[in-house]
């Protein structure tokens, strides 16, 4: 095909592009994935049976706020990394700050607890299952982000994949917190973070293949 013809074809039926289109696209992909994750959660676990009384406790909201803060930071990073030659700038730090605060809360909790209780507090009753559940719930969100990237232009594919994984894991962890009955900050800081980081690593490994354009 001649380039002149290609240009004519591309310009046919030209749709306007509104401001914030990239952000909306990312949000749509992640949002749709989150809805699917929520449905999966309800079918798999259902909401935690004590949802209403739990919602009166601070810890319930902390369990939502922590992964949500990571998801928000990852979203802002993806908005940049999804553009040609995009750089994250100081946004990396906001992720680290969230993790450090959660870890700090966990350490304080364990330090203040009687020594005999520490292991129990830290492991809860679902320590090893939690990261894997988060990974499973992250899959639809990650696929939604991969869909979103079909209109984006990342030039650092592994990094973009990693933060897509982090955003997927963090969104999944937020959803999971609606079913999870664990209450210890130390648990949250360890096992939720592990699930989110694991999603990031998998995303990074898949990034160069799935995000190529």
| Residues within the interface to other proteins (CB under 8 A) | 1, 3-4, 6-8, 10-12, 14-17, 19, 21-22, 25, 82-85, 151-153, 155, 212-213
Sign of the dihedral through C-alpha 87, 90, 91, 92: positive
HSE-CB for 15 with a 13 A CA cutoff:
3
State how far the Cα of 189 lies from the Cα of 69, in Å rounded to an integer. 13
| Cβ at position 155, least distance to other proteins in Å | 5
Indicate the residue among 113 and 205 with the shorter CB distance to other proteins: 205
| Cβ at position 18, least distance to other proteins in Å | 8
Helix (H, G, I), strand (E, B) or coil at 128: coil
| Cβ at position 175, least distance to other proteins in Å | 27
Indicate the residue among 14 and 58 with the shorter CB distance to other proteins: 14
| Cβ at position 147, least distance to other proteins in Å | 14
Indicate the residue among 158 and 181 with the shorter CB distance to other proteins: 158
Query: DSSP states of 26-62 as a string?
Result: HHHHHHHHHHHHHHHHHHHT-S-TTHHHHTTSHHHHH
State how far the Cα of 91 lies from the Cα of 157, in Å rounded to an integer. 18
| Cβ at position 1, least distance to other proteins in Å | 7
State how far the Cα of 127 lies from the Cα of 7, in Å rounded to an integer. 56
DSSP 19: T
Indicate the residue among 99 and 205 with the shorter CB distance to other proteins: 205
Indicate the residue among 33 and 154 with the shorter CB distance to other proteins: 154
State how far the Cα of 31 lies from the Cα of 104, in Å rounded to an integer. 30
């Amino acid at each position: 095909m001649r380039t002149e013809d290609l240009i004519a074809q591309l310009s046919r039926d030209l749709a306007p592009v509104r401001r914030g289109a990239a952000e909306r696209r990312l949000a749509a992909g992640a949002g749709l994935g989150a809805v699917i994750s929520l449905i999966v959660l309800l079918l798999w676990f259902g909401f935690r049976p004590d949802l209403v009384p739990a919602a009166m406790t601070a810890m319930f909201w902390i369990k939502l706020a922590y992964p949500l803060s990571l998801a928000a930071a990852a979203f802002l990073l993806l908005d940049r990394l999804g553009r040609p030659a995009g750089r994250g700038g100081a946004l990396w730090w906001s992720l680290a700050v969230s993790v450090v605060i959660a870890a700090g809360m966990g350490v304080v909790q364990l330090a203040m607890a009687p020594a005999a209780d520490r292991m129990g507090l830290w492991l809860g009753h679902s320590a090893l299952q939690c990261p894997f559940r988060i990974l499973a719930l992250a899959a639809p969100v990650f696929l939604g982000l991969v869909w979103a990237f079909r209109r984006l232009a990342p030039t650092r594919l592994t990094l973009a994949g990693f933060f897509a994984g982090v955003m997927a894991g963090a969104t999944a962890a937020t959803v999971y917190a609606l079913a999870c009955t664990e209450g210890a900050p130390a648990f949250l800081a360890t096992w939720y973070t592990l699930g989110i980081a694991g999603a990031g690593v998998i995303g990074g490994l898949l990034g160069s293949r799935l995000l190529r354009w």
